[in-house]
Amino acid sequence: MDHYDLVVIGSGPAGQKAAIAAAKLGKSAAVVERRDMVGGVCINTGTVPSKTMREAVLYLTGLSQRELYGQSYRLKHDITVTDLSARTAHVVNKEIDVIQSQLTRNRVALLIGSARFTGSHEISIDGPDGERKVITADHIVIAVGTRPARPSSVEFDGATIVDSDQILGMSHVPQSMVVVGAGVIGIEYASMFAALGTKVTVVEKRANMLEFCDREIVEALQYQLRERGVTFRFSESVKTVEKHPGGTLTILESGKKIPADTVLYSAGRQGVTDELDVAKAGLQGNERGRLEVNENFQTEVEHIYAVGDVIGFPALAATSMEQGRRAAYHAFGEPAGDVDPIQPIGIYAIPEVSFVGKTEDELTAENVPFEVGVARYRELARGAIMGDSYGMLKLLVHATDRSLLGVHVFGSNAAELVHIGQTVMGCGGTVDYLVGAVFNYPTLAEGYKVAALDAVNKMRAISRVTGAGNGHDLGAE
């Protein structure tokens, strides 16, 4: 029976980084993963294929060029699923190769099969050809991720009524689509299909979408999506989804019926602990299949860790990687430093949304006085060159100590741009740093300076009224 210092179940971002971190500390490590799933949901069905599909949609529809070349501009008419999936398959295969190579060169064993606990230090692996192998480990990291929630009231068929793992296998670009759930997955796919010309209806049981985001930016996103023909049905819950010979019917609790070619059911995900026999290790998943952990990612059985989506919020690839690394370091007594509380969110809708830090609503609720500085892409030369007139970058600045409290970006490259603000915040910088900084011209990054000047000018206006000098003019006009 093979024995390892650390065994990881699941090769998604969390599992990969846990195993490699252990190997870098000189420990023997193995990752157990099912056939055809190396890289996890992230590489095979989630993050990477959806973001690649988004790039293909933007490129083939010519959407990002239409402000410059006219509303009828298209790189290709009649875009097919093959056009989209060719790019996706290329990127996914490359990424799988990168992961396999990283594991091999770090001497992490990749054991193909489905793992389940047979004891708190023992795991049984059912291989793809029916063979069974039992291994033991001093430390075990559970990084099994999630699968889409699939209620029995929805007649999933994998072709016209699909979950987010199945959508990439669709046979054609539908003329109409209902998206159930306005979470991140729902909104990202709704915007991609709307860009392809599909008539999309989004049904969401809450009164708003993306409630953790800045309200002004969510309104701007909704406006852009409506412009592309998306209909929103908020405060409406889906009761059943039926398949009929002529298409699908989504029936709402309110009695409304929405016909469509296709339904994407993207109303949450479920932890994959049910097939893991966690009880044999002394553990129990909650009703959403999630595991509870302490600040070191230890479960209640201290040599068993859980990381990534299986522990719930924030359930992102980037946070999952960091949790994996920290778990392995903790297992072997290696200091990992403090957790950085400033973590960005990127939503790859069309247009993109990204933010770090607090929202206006949160600061108001906490009675923190703040000023807002805004830069509009249409006033940045790079915005005009790119043909993005709707984008904006917004800074929330503490009214007295002038620290950056939040950065909210909407439009092209939002998820990249946000990191400039994140770095300033992480280093304890103030708005005055951004006022005095010189950025390349013409860039979207220049928006930081424009927004900082806007915030400082408003703060100076308050000082003028009160007659108090603020001592931070720095030439802001």
Ligand X SMILES: NC(=O)c1ccc[n+]([C@@H]2O[C@H](COP(=O)([O-])OP(=O)(O)OC[C@H]3O[C@@H](n4cnc5c(N)ncnc54)[C@H](O)[C@@H]3O)[C@@H](O)[C@H]2O)c1
Judge whether 39 and 10 are in contact, CB under 8 Å: no
Sort strands 353-357 and 345-347 into parallel, antiparallel or unpaired.
antiparallel
Which partner, ligand X, ligand FAD, none, binds residue 205 by CB below 5 to 8 Å per kind?
ligand X
Which partner, ligand X, ligand FAD, none, binds residue 40 by CB below 5 to 8 Å per kind?
ligand FAD
CA dist list (Å): 306 to 139, 238, 321, 470? 11, 33, 12, 49
Q: Residue 164: exposed, middle, or buried by beta-carbon count in 10 A (0-12, 13-18, 19+)? A: buried
Packing angle, helices 446-466 and 414-426, rounded to 10: 50
The verdict on 181 binding ligand X (CB under 6 A) reads yes
The verdict on 43 binding ligand X (CB under 6 A) reads no
CA of residue 402 relative to chain centroid, distance? 30
Which partner, ligand X, ligand FAD, none, binds residue 181 by CB below 5 to 8 Å per kind?
ligand X
* Region binding ligand FAD by CB under 6 A among candidate stretches 112-120, 292-300, 381-389, 416-424: 112-120
Which partner, ligand X, ligand FAD, none, binds residue 238 by CB below 5 to 8 Å per kind?
ligand X
Packing angle, helices 13-24 and 317-331, rounded to 10: 30
Phi, psi of 381 (to 5 degrees): -55, -40
Residue type, 19: A
Report which DSSP code applies to 251.
Answer: E
* Region binding ligand X by CB under 6 A among candidate stretches 114-122, 128-136, 198-206, 320-328: 198-206
* Region binding ligand FAD by CB under 6 A among candidate stretches 61-69, 140-148, 250-258, 422-430: 140-148
CA of residue 70 relative to chain centroid, distance? 32
Residue placing its CB nearer to ligand FAD in the complex, 179 or 450:
179
CA dist list (Å): 385 to 379, 382, 415, 444, 447? 11, 5, 19, 10, 14
Which partner, ligand FAD, ligand X, none, binds residue 37 by CB below 5 to 8 Å per kind?
ligand FAD
Which partner, ligand X, ligand FAD, none, binds residue 206 by CB below 5 to 8 Å per kind?
ligand X
The verdict on 348 binding ligand FAD (CB under 6 A) reads yes
**Least separation in angstroms between CB 309 and ligand X:** 7
The verdict on 275 binding ligand FAD (CB under 6 A) reads yes
Please count the CA atoms within 13 angstroms of the CA of 336 that sit on its side-chain side.
21
Among 20, 22, 23, 33, binds ligand FAD (CB under 6 A): 33
Phi, psi of 231 (to 5 degrees): -105, 135
Among 142, 281, 347, 418, binds ligand X (CB under 6 A): 347
Which single residue is written with the structure tokens 């398959």?
A: 89
Which partner, ligand X, ligand FAD, none, binds residue 202 by CB below 5 to 8 Å per kind?
none
The verdict on 167 binding ligand X (CB under 6 A) reads no
Among 62, 127, 197, 268, binds ligand X (CB under 6 A): 268
**Least separation in angstroms between CB 121 and ligand X:** 31
CA dist list (Å): 171 to 47, 74, 167? 21, 22, 9
Judge whether 436 and 413 are in contact, CB under 8 Å: no
Residue placing its CB nearer to ligand X in the complex, 145 or 421:
145
Residues 6+ apart with CB under 8 A from 30: 2, 4, 6, 7, 8, 19, 108, 109, 110, 111, 135, 137
User: Total residues contacting ligand FAD (rule CB under 6 A)?
Assistant: 39
* Region binding ligand FAD by CB under 6 A among candidate stretches 142-150, 154-162, 197-205, 361-369: 142-150
Which partner, ligand FAD, ligand X, none, binds residue 430 by CB below 5 to 8 Å per kind?
none
User: Total residues contacting ligand X (rule CB under 6 A)?
Assistant: 23
* Region binding ligand X by CB under 6 A among candidate stretches 129-137, 184-192, 284-292, 437-445: 184-192
User: By three-state DSSP, how is residue 269 classified?
Assistant: strand
Q: Which of residues 299-328 bind ligand X (CB under 6 A)?
A: 315-316
Judge whether 117 and 128 are in contact, CB under 8 Å: no
The verdict on 444 binding ligand FAD (CB under 6 A) reads no
**Least separation in angstroms between CB 226 and ligand FAD:** 23
Residue placing its CB nearer to ligand X in the complex, 87 or 205:
205
C-alpha 57/C-alpha 152 separation (Å) is 32
* Region binding ligand FAD by CB under 6 A among candidate stretches 198-206, 215-223, 317-325, 372-380: 317-325
Which partner, ligand FAD, ligand X, none, binds residue 15 by CB below 5 to 8 Å per kind?
ligand FAD
Which single residue is written with the structure tokens 């029936």?
A: 251
Q: SS3 letters for 152-204?
A: CCECCCCCCEEECCCHHHCCCCCCEEEEECCCHHHHHHHHHHHHHCCEEEEEE
Binding positions for ligand X, rule: CB under 6 A: 180-186, 188, 203-206, 237-238, 266-269, 315-316, 346-348
